[in-house]
Amino acid sequence: MSVQAVSDKDFQTVVVEDEGPVLVDFWAEWCGPCKMLMPIVEEVAGEMKDKIKVVKVNIDESPEAPTKYGVRGIPTLMVFKGGKVVDTRVGGMPKSQLAEWLAGQV
């Protein structure tokens, strides 16, 4: 799988300390739109694996990172570069829209 699960414990090293770009998918097991978006994120991650690292953070198991970065609704997708958030999208989206958005970030 091209999407790495990240917890609060390793968020700093895997996401913030990476020069990027890194896409972070904040999600939860009970979230219907998150479950619909996950296969799309995984597919795009596979297609863009040489250009962007993709990770997912379960907000129930790791509440610190989403709180620190102001996640209010899920799914929330954030692109980090050089340890800073450069763009954010909230809610589901079709594969074409996700791929186009990420292409503009790499």
**Residue 22 belongs to some domain of the structure:** yes
Q: Say what the pLDDT of residue 52 is.
A: 94
Instruction: Report the predicted TM-score, pTM, of the whole model to 2 decimal places.
Output: 0.95
| Residue 89 covered by a domain | yes
Active site annotation includes 46: no
CA atoms within 13 A on the CB side of 23: 30
What digits encode the pLDDT tens for the residues 52-102?
A: 999 999 999 999 999 999 999 999 999 999 999 999 999 999 999 999 999
Taking Cα atoms as reference points, which of 10, 1, 4, 3 lies closest to residue 64?
Answer: 10
Closest among 39, 50, 28, 52 to 1, alpha carbons compared:
39
Which of 31, 48, 54, 57 is an active site residue?
Answer: 31
Largest CA distance in the chain: 33
- 106 lies in a domain? no
Q: What is the pLDDT of residue 2?
A: 79
Instruction: Tell me if residue 31 is catalytic.
Output: yes
Residue 31, in any domain of the structure: yes
What CATH code is carried by the domain that includes residue 75?
3.40.30.10
Please identify which of the residues 6, 15, 34, 45 carries the catalytic annotation. Answer: 34
